[in-house]
Amino acid sequence: MNKSQFKNLLVDLWDDLEDPSVLWQGGIAAACLLAAWWIAGYLRWRAPEESPEALKRGAAAFRRVLFPLVAMVLLVAARAVTSRWIHVNALSVAIALAVALAAIRFAVYLLRLGFTQAAWIAGFERAIAGIVWTLVALHLTGLLPEIEAVLDDVKFTMGRQTHSLLSLLQSGFWIAVTLLLALWAGSAFESRLMRVESLHSSLQAVLSRAGKALLLVLALLVILPVVGIDLTVLSVFGGALGVGLGFGLQKIASNYVSGFIILLDRSIRLGDMITADNQIGEVKQITTRYTVVRSLSGVEAIIPNDTLISSTVLNHSYTDRKVRFTVKVQVSYATDVEKLLPELVAIARRHPRVLSDPEPGALLAAFADSGIDLELGFWIQDPELGTNNVRSELSLAILSELRTRGIEIPYPRREVTLRQAGTS
């Protein structure tokens, strides 16, 4: 439909509003919409959970455009049947609105798929589609120019310039569109960067964040002069913001800089077992502001990156994930220690999580007051699974072995002598 045909359609539509037949057109359109709603509900289909991701996305796109497409087909059929008896200009406009709704819903869904990191688009998908369709509907019905004229009459002065409400809304729209395009380009850059296997994950995270920030800054620098905003004003504002960051947001800025340092020097990586800020656990997430450490009890600690840079961090898996632990036991002085030590080593070797290289070892640690202290040392390479269970299982096996051999575990004893009064 070209511009002249569309203009003639609007003129005919306004003529139809003065004809009683418009009520018949409204009833027919309502009946078509109700039938389309019922048919779309009947034909609505969801892909099974085990289906490929492409099939799930195709089914989701089909559900979004099913209702407007069915409504369009029914409206076209109704217009063809009733055009012999009544004017059908209102039905023609309804068909155009149905086509626009299908196209807008499909386009917004594609936008959602393009911005996988922006969860807010999924939450506001219907609202975005509704706003865009409303604008298109106002344009198709010829009401948008009237609304634009009213908004253009609302003027106010900002500094030396006079603006209208329409110009502000247009500027906001183009700024939003430019930022969305920059975010889409940043997401595409990140997805392509994550597929480069030669780059380390930390370097990929740094480059993706830096690329997104650079694209957003370039988008603002391009669009702001286009909409009539002087960049010299932003330079003054940027200087004031820099002073504010230097004094009031110093700690936050330090955390962000520390985050980039951690990601670049790779002193702490995902999956490392660390001890920092009195927290022991596995590194689950590293952002530009904080690091998430999950303890063996399941509690996740959010540690500011500045703390990891300015304090000592024990990385239990920095160069090697193997960690050594010990189990101590005390036996009586009557025990044949030379025969017992190999048995303790054999107990450790039988445990599935104890490594054979380095192999476990047992030794005499000290001569105590009540007995002889023995120590069984062993290595594991999966400390993120916990260590208390390994120690408990080895301790139970050692206790069973000592009871089988009749070896006593000594405990402190005291002799108390009671004397009667008057006796020496």
Q: Tell me: the pLDDT tens digits for 19-53?
A: 566 677 778 888 888 988 888 888 777 777 777 77
SS3 408: coil
pLDDT for 320 beyond 80: no
Over its C-alpha atoms, the chain yields an Rg (Å, rounded) of 37
Does 150 map to a domain?
no
Domain boundary residue among 315, 333, 349?
Answer: 315
Cα–Cα dist 95/75, whole Å? 6
Listed residues 87, 109, 142: the one ending a domain:
142
Decide: 276 and 311 in contact? Cβ < 8 Å: yes
200/288 same-domain check: no
Q: Looking at the 3D structure of the chain, how many domains does it have?
A: 4
Quick check: is 335 in a domain?
Answer: yes
Same domain for 10 and 119?
A: yes
Please tell me whether residues 62 and 129 are part of one structural domain.
yes
Average pLDDT value for residue range 413-420: 73
Smallest Cα–Cα separation from 310: which of 247, 249, 251?
251
Domain that holds residue 304: 269-315
Average pLDDT, the chain: 77
Is 342 inside any structural domain? yes
In-domain check, residue 186? yes
Q: State residue 396's pLDDT score.
A: 92
Closest CA to 97 of 50, 133, 44, 52: 133
Query: How many angstroms separate the CA atoms of 397 and 380, rounded?
Result: 18
Domain boundary among 108, 142, 176: 142
In angstroms, the CA 211 to CA 187 distance is 9
Task: Tell whether the model's pLDDT for residue 6 goes beyond 70.
Answer: no
**Residue 82: predicted pLDDT:** 82
CB-CB contact of 290 with 305 (8 Å)? yes
Residue 282 maps to which CATH number?
2.30.30.60
For residue 69, being part of any structural domain is answered with yes
Residue 221 lies in a domain: yes
Q: Same domain for 103 and 20?
A: yes
**CATH for 373:** 3.30.70.100
Do 185 and 219 have their domain in common? yes
Token pair in block for residue 128: 């975005």
pLDDT-derived band at 164 (thresholds 50, 70, 90) equals: confident
Please state, as a whole number, how many other Cβ atoms lie within 10 Å of the Cβ of residue 206. Answer: 19
What's the mean pLDDT in 269-288?
A: 84
What span, in angstroms and rounded, lies between the C-alpha atoms of 258 and 250? Answer: 12
The mean-pLDDT minimum among 90-104, 298-312, 370-384 falls in 90-104
Query: Quick one: 366 and 280 in the same domain?
Result: no
pLDDT band at 138 (very low <50, low <70, confident <90, very high): confident
Q: Percent of the chain having pLDDT more than 70?
A: 79
Same domain, 351 and 310: no
On whether residue 411 sits in a domain, the answer given is no
Question: No. of H helices and E strands in the chain?
Answer: 14, 10
Sort 219 into a burial class: Cβ within 10 Å, 0-12 / 13-18 / 19+. Answer: buried
Confirm if 293 and 274 have CB atoms less than 8 A apart.
yes
The whole-number pLDDT of residue 273 equals 84
Most confident of 185-194, 227-236, 266-275: 266-275
Check whether residue 22 and residue 132 sit in a common domain. yes
pLDDT for position 374: 92
Quick one: 133 and 196 in the same domain?
no
**For 83-164, where are the alpha helices, taking DSSP H only?**
89-114, 119-123, 125-140, 144-153
Per the CB < 8 A criterion, the answer to whether 96 and 142 are in contact is: no
* 124 shares a domain with 56: yes
Q: How confident is the model at residue 141 (pLDDT cuts 50, 70, 90)?
A: low
The type of residue at 88 is V
Residue 40: closest CA among 11, 2, 67, 60 = 67
Residue 152 counted as domain residue = no
Verify that 275 and 381 share a domain, yes or no.
no
Q: Are residues 45 and 87 in the same domain?
A: yes
